[in-house]
Structure 1
Amino acid sequence: MALINIDHLTFCYDGSYDNIFENVSFQIDTDWKLGFTGRNGRGKTTFLQLLCGKYEYRGTIDSPVSFDYFPFQVTDPSQNVIEVVAGICPDFEHWELQKELSLLEVAEDVMERPFAALSQGEQTKVLLAALFIKPNNFLLIDEPTNHLDIEGRRVVGKYLNRKTGFILVSHDRVFLDRCIDHILTINKTNIELQKGNFSKWWINKERTDSFETAENDRLQKEIKQLSAAARRTAGWSDKIEKTKKGTLNSGIKPDKGYIGHQAAKMMKRSKVIETRLQKNIQTKEKLLKNIELADSLSMKPLSHPKNTLVELSDLAIYYADRNVCENVHFTVERGERVALSGRNGCGKSSVLKLLTGEELTYSGKLSIGSNLKISYISQDTAYLQGSLHSFAEQYQIEESRFLTILHKLDLSGVQFEKDMRMFSAGQKKKVLLAKSLCEQAHLYIWDEPLNYIDVLSRMQIEDLIVRCRPTLLFVEHDSAFVQSVATKYIRL
């Protein structure tokens, strides 16, 4: 056991006036399985890069272990897997790698194959195995689940649960619960460290938020009452004090000593009320700072006159050198929310692209309802650049509604002025989600819409879909989301 000490860490990017971190201090035990979460754009990846020494910062980071970052960049993917592993860990023992790959349910013959020939899920597993066999390292694992299907997430989660000494950035609640024993959260105003998994942290957060909200309401009511009492007491004190200078209605001169005593009592009472009032105001100011506003989203799906919107029968899709999928049979009925699942590379994205009108070679029956309006979210966000204003113009969506949705998904006004190339991966994905929610469609087709999206935004989208009940065909590997949203399951 050893400790990584972060002391008064302060950092901001060149040209920015806002600190990402300001005087942050905490300790990490090198034996922890530490989950790391927080809304998009709060600095999770930046913090990992600071640990790796990528940027200059103020404060200190004192670590007895070296850091390795995942995903590791493979410079020559044409090399065999065994050569890639040797580049990461030159002194590795062959049996060690075999053991790690076995735990990750990767076939042994993969070591003689070119790295580029592996599926993205297999590449993820190989790199994790290679990085974990390095001696005296602490692994920084940045969103490994984005290239893993549900089964892959189960395997990797089980694997990480056997390990210690890592920070894991993930927004998949079930995956986090499988493999962490502590959680680090970037809140609005601080960084919070707790023992336990994601579910335990979420229960604690809901309790804290509920208590602070109730306490804020109580203090608000009491502050209003105390303010009124303070005004009344001050008024009474002034009236009593004024009687010193006059005569009573009976013509008798007032007892100035008695009146002064009464005025002093009133003034003292006023001071007590004022002190209580200020104390309550100060207490109230400390509340609600880390409550995440997750306003309800909205969408306006269209209703198609036909009940069956999509029908596939004995469908096969071909690329130049191979067939991607075959014997695909399913329908999408009006009002259904269809989850399309299957291992990586089985053709899920190809089926979705075919339905959106992309020209692919296929055989079998493909029937799409006449005049069917489709709203599509692709996996790819790399093409996003330029301003949000020009993006809204390009896709002819209502800009004010588009920006409102992005604001509800926790993009600040500062982000609205930036080029989308400067956005984090999660923020780019939110742009595509907001676009789709602005579009009125009979059928929404979403291909892994939650990649890089933070947990609170996922919950907002879950709530939206359950409330608005659009017809939806989607691919998603977040099992909590799928279970909450899907009304029908199709496995390729």
Structure 2
Amino acid sequence: MVHLTNISKQHGSQILFKNASLQILTGTRTGLVGANGTGKTTIFHLITGEEEADDGEISCSKKIKIGYFSQNVGEMSGGSALCEVMSAASDVVMLGENMKKMEAAMAEPMDESAMEVLLENYGDAAEEFENRGGYDLETRAQTVLTGLGIGPDDYNLPVESFSGGWKMRIALAKILIISPDVLLLDEPTNHLDMESIIWLENWLINDFKGALLMTCHDHDFMNKVVSRTVEVANHTTTTYGGNYDFYIREREIRLKQLVASHRRQQEMLAKEENFIARFKARVSHAAQVQSRIKKLEKIERIQLPEQQRVIKFEFSEPPRSGDDVVLLDKLAKTWETPDRKPKTVFSDISGLISRQDKIAVVGVNGAGKSTFLKVLAGKTNPTQGIARVGASVNIGYFSQHSMDILDSKRTVFETVQNALPRAGMGVIRNLCAAFLFSGDDVEKRIDQLSGGEKSRVVLATLLGQPINFLILDEPTNHLDIQSRQILLHALKKFTGTLVLVSHDRHFLRCLVNRVFEIDRGKMTVYKGDYEYYLSKTGRDHRQI
């Protein structure tokens, strides 16, 4: 369907691709992986025609429809959420309007030949309208919007009233309802809660019939949806015939084989070069020397890929807290709505958070998870009840708001140094490097950073401090898979107490040992890990 053959592409002095190739075949489900800046988004732009290759060939099958979802949603205004989604199929809507005009014309008197032509045209239009899903277009738009968390009460709200994250969902819905032959998704799970992520996962697996190429930071989502993985690295693309876990395992195997081949080649080259150096001045060995020189010139040298340097930073042992970290007794929280009517978020929550617990707080969107974390962190007072913090508990709290209070004029290094004033420069640099800020990156100002980079700065400052109770609200938002793995590794080694909200199922599965579920204002405690919670509640991977 889509073929990129021997593509070369350069942005300024940065070489992205040299003779790279990629195929998107009918029905394939492909995950695109690689470090930031390697060219994943550029591949999308090459396919859509937003960019042109410097060299090579890009070919597409005739009459295929390509749908592309990116993080740049563009302007939305002048209509409802439902109308905005349906506007993606404006040609189908127009076809339906033309059919109505033809139906009206049929009711008017006309000669037989004109009626015959009109009926033929109407029949062709009706067939195309049906083939393109015109008869159930509005129903599909409603289904997709609901699946992505925008329910019937919000269908007719003006798009201007939605925040940026919700506009992303509307933009995603627009791409999904046109059911393209080739679907390009650039980080589709950003800004989605777990219910919406699982809905999208099921839709792609069960309902979408076209070919898929996507990038995604959600480990579980990638594993379930894709059956082929393409790595973008070292100016080329490498295809692996399996999901993300298969890719990780196979990449390690291939790398070990490549390193062994490289070592053998280097030993052979050293031997040959040593012979040439020893005998190049001897006339008696001139023929042999020339023969070996020509042999070396013809050998294709094995190049080892550039490996991202992983810094092993040992986080200091946090001070020991008391065994009872937080006692919850009949906790309740009520917010006042804009129309001054009280809204109870949760009530009568009781329980105990013990030292070294690692707790996931789960529940549907709007259940009150973030509010519960704010009460634990002392960022808002409960309306009723108490949340009594135990002895020697030092709280560290992360939320998306944490990024907003960073000093935009400070550098990464200055920000971390300010949080750890007693730490030496070497410790600060190692801490920055552990969160992927190395070399000149530590001199970047905060206002030059992406959302994911700001998250990593805040998390670095938290984990570098003597905190023994971490409260994290969506720490994995904006983080790519590599950054999530770094954070996961740090939190698994953290010997204090942890309470977090996250929509990353892989993260929760690998980390937590207890689950608090908030549902309809009440909390249920599950004294087991995330898999235990899923089994006890009857929820599997296809349900929240």
Match of 2:125 in 1: none
How much has 1:388 moved relative to structure 2?
1.3
Report the number of matched residues.
458
Q: Is the 8 A contact 2:311 2:434 kept in 1?
A: yes
Distance 1:5 1:470, change over 3 A: same
* Within-5 A mapping of 1:111-126: 112-114=155-157
Deviations 1:266-289 (A, max 9, x none): x87888888899999x64x512x1
* Within-5 A mapping of 1:317-466: 317-321=333-337, 322-360=343-381, 362-380=383-401, 381=403, 385-386=408-409, 387-396=411-420, 398=423, 400-466=426-492
Gaps of 5+ in 2: 94-133, 338-342, 519-544
- Counterpart check, 1:175 vs 2:207: no
How much has 1:25 moved relative to structure 2?
3.9
Q: Is the 8 A contact 1:319 1:361 kept in 2?
A: no
How much has 1:10 moved relative to structure 2?
1.7
Match of 1:146 among 190, 194, 213: 190
How much has 1:390 moved relative to structure 2?
3.2
Match of 1:109 among 128, 142, 152: 152
Deviations 1:238-270 (A, max 9, x none): 9xx8xxxxxxxxxxxxxxxxxx9xxx46x8788
How much has 1:445 moved relative to structure 2?
1.8
Cα RMSD between the aligned structures? 3.9
In the aligned structure 2, how far is the partner of 1:295 from the partner of 1:358? 34
Match of 2:87 in 1: 87
In the aligned structure 2, how far is the partner of 1:78 from the partner of 1:363? 43
How much has 1:355 moved relative to structure 2?
2.6
Q: Is the 8 A contact 1:337 1:486 kept in 2?
A: yes
How much has 1:484 moved relative to structure 2?
1.1
Q: Structure 2 length normalisation: TM-score?
A: 0.71
Match of 1:26 in 2: 22
Gaps of 5+ in 1: 242-259
Match of 2:233 in 1: 187
Match of 2:250 in 1: 204
- Counterpart check, 1:96 vs 2:131: no
Distance 1:359 1:133, change over 3 A: closer
In the aligned structure 2, how far is the partner of 1:11 from the partner of 1:227? 36
Match of 1:474 in 2: 500
- Counterpart check, 1:159 vs 2:203: yes
Deviations 1:188-247 (A, max 9, x none): 4422233332222222112112323444555566777x389759x939x99xx8xxxxxx
SS in 1 for 2:515: strand
In the aligned structure 1, how far is the partner of 2:489 from the partner of 2:231? 23
SS in 2 for 1:202: helix
Q: Structure 1 length normalisation: TM-score?
A: 0.77
Q: Is the 8 A contact 2:67 2:175 kept in 1?
A: no
- Counterpart check, 1:39 vs 2:38: no
How much has 1:73 moved relative to structure 2?
3.2
SS in 2 for 1:147: coil
SS in 2 for 1:207: helix
Q: Is the 8 A contact 1:71 1:127 kept in 2?
A: no
Match of 2:303 in 1: 286
My pick for the range that moved more, 463-472 or 344-353, is 463-472
SS in 2 for 1:201: helix
Deviations 1:443-472 (A, max 9, x none): 122222222322233333333333443322
How much has 1:366 moved relative to structure 2?
0.7
